Structure formats: C-alpha cells, structure tokens
C-alpha cells in the first residue's frame, strides 16, 4: 500500500529558531522575519512544495540563565527579538490555498477570554486553516515580566491549561449557536439574542460569566496540538 509522507515546516517569528547563529550565513534571510514578504514568499514556496503546514513556535520570555545574563542571547539573536506568531496567519492565508498554519500560544500568560477572540479571528481570516500549538511554557523570565513571582509548578501549569481549554471550548463551541447570526436587513436584526449564550464559567483559575465576542468561525475550535511528553503533558494532550 502506498504511504503518504506529510511535510510540516517548523519556524519561529525571529532569527535562528533552533539554529542560533545561522543568520550570519551569507544567503540567510531569517533577519527579514519582520517583513511581511519574508513570510508570504516562504508560504508560497511551501505551498508549491505540497507542505501540509507551517508551524510557528513561540516563547514569552527569554533565555537569561546562561552566565546569569541575557547578554549572550541578545548577542547571538537566540529567540530574541521575537515577534508575535498569530499575526502571520492572515498574510500567509492570503497567498496560499491549502497550507495549514499552526501558531503557538501559551496558557500561562494570557487570559483565555482575549485569546479566544484572537484565535477565532485567525480562523475567520484563514477560512479555517489555523491550528494552535498549546504550550504551558518554561521561561521564568516571561512570568516575571507579567508581574508574577515565577511560573507555577510544571504539573499545575497543565492544570491551568485544562481549565483554559474548558473556557476556550465554552466560548468557541457553546456561546454562539450556528444560526445565531441572522443578518436580517429587513427586520434590522443582526444576531438573535436568544441564540447567544453566557458561558457562566467559574473555575479555580478563571471566571468568565458572559458571552464570547466572536461569531462562529469555520472550525470554531482550531486544530489543537501539543508536544509535552511528561505524564501530565500526555494526560492533558489526550483529553
């Protein structure tokens, strides 16, 4: 039986994702990561090459542990500076037809309510081609810079992630019914209030009483994936 091989392109919105220093190579273009053309050119090449998806890694925080300093990371451009991955989804979708666009977002830094809107917006703009690499993060520097003492423990970060996903499901799957948006110009009714529901979420980590901000996007919930291999990580992923 013929087997299919699927190609996925792993990138990050910075120079030298997993290959620090490669930006010095004469024909390297990764320092153009700030230019929209860098991403649209790359997306077109991947689509032409029948890649299934582009997957864009991300971290909130930076590597400041080596010699107790951030200097080496800055000197070598080691995942800093780093731009926001989700903003690439729209431009990549615009120049491609079938390439999947996986973006990374952490459950440890941002409340699920604004994130639900951002990922749903990306799903709308890509017409249902966005995926979410769910990470719980590992950089203490990120936690400190949002005013925390540090990251929660490894396993508790996965507990937070579970509740985070509960909120996301409630907002994206449960708040707006499929036919909530009427766009009835005659009656002057855009959306039917009876079909937009408050999620009334009250958990250990998050409280979200109201309705989602976005109307249903093509996938509602994007393709979800996560790469943890610990017991807690596998338990979370399988759920």
Ligand X SMILES: Cc1cc2nc3c(=O)[nH]c(=O)nc-3n(C[C@H](O)[C@H](O)[C@H](O)COP(=O)(O)O)c2cc1C
- Quote the least distance from Cβ 85 to ligand X, whole Å: 8
Tell me if the bond preceding 81 is cis, omega within 30° of 0: yes
- Taking CB under 6 A as the rule, does residue 227 contact ligand X? yes
Binding region for ligand X (CB under 6 A) out of 34-42, 124-132, 161-169, 227-235? 227-235
What stretches of 47-143 adopt beta strand conformation (E)?
Answer: 53-57, 100-106, 130-135
- Quote the least distance from Cβ 182 to ligand X, whole Å: 40
- Quote the least distance from Cβ 27 to ligand X, whole Å: 26
- Quote the least distance from Cβ 52 to ligand X, whole Å: 15
- Taking CB under 6 A as the rule, does residue 79 contact ligand X? no
- Taking CB under 6 A as the rule, does residue 13 contact ligand X? no
In whole angstroms, what is the distance from residue 196 CA to residue 174 CA? 9
Binding region for ligand X (CB under 6 A) out of 19-27, 41-49, 87-95, 221-229? 221-229
DSSP H or E run through 166: helix 154-169
- Quote the least distance from Cβ 157 to ligand X, whole Å: 9
- CA–chain centroid gap for 85, Å, is 7
Contact 137, 79 (CB under 8 A): no
- Taking CB under 6 A as the rule, does residue 238 contact ligand X? no
In whole angstroms, what is the distance from residue 74 CA to residue 16 CA? 12
- Taking CB under 6 A as the rule, does residue 230 contact ligand X? yes
Phi-psi label, residue 127: left if phi above 0, alpha if psi -120 to 50, beta otherwise: left
Q: Which of 137, 214, 217, 219 binds ligand X (CB under 6 A)?
A: 137
**Smaller CB distance to ligand X: residue 119 or 180?**
119
Instruction: Tell which residue, 21, 33, 150, 147, has the closest CA to residue 91.
Output: 33
Contact 197, 175 (CB under 8 A): yes
x/- contact string, 152-191, with ligand X (CB under 6 A)?
--x-------------------------------------
Contact 135, 107 (CB under 8 A): yes
Instruction: Tell which residue, 63, 62, 45, has the closest CA to residue 54.
Output: 45
**Smaller CB distance to ligand X: residue 175 or 226?**
226
- Taking CB under 6 A as the rule, does residue 11 contact ligand X? no
Q: Binding residues for ligand X, per CB under 6 A? A: 57-59, 104, 133, 135-138, 154, 226-230, 233
């Amino acid at each position: 039986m013929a087997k299919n091989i699927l190609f996925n392109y792993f990138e990050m919105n910075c120079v030298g994702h997993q290959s620090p220093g490669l930006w010095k190579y004469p024909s390297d273009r990764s320092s153009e990561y700030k230019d929209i053309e860098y991403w649209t050119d790359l997306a077109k090449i991947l689509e032409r090459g029948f890649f299934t998806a582009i997957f864009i890694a991300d971290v909130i925080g930076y590597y400041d542990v080596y010699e107790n300093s951030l200097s080496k990371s800055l000197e070598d451009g080691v995942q800093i500076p780093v731009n926001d991955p989700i903003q690439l989804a729209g431009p990549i979708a615009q120049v491609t037809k079938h390439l999947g666009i996986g973006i990374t977002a952490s459950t440890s830094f941002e409340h699920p309510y604004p994130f639900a809107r951002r990922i749903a917006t990306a799903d709308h703009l890509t017409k249902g081609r966005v995926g979410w690499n769910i990470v719980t993060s590992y950089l203490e520097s990120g936690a400190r810079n949002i005013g925390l003492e540090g990251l929660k423990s490894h396993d508790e970060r996965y507990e937070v992630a579970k509740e985070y996903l509960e909120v996301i499901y409630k907002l994206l799957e449960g708040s707006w019914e499929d036919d909530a948006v009427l766009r009835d110009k005659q009656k002057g009714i855009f959306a039917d209030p009876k079909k937009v529901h408050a999620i009334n979420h009250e958990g250990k980590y998050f409280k979200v009483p109201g309705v989602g901000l976005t109307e249903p996007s093509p996938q509602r919930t994007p393709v979800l994936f996560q790469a943890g291999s610990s017991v807690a990580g596998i338990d979370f992923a399988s759920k």
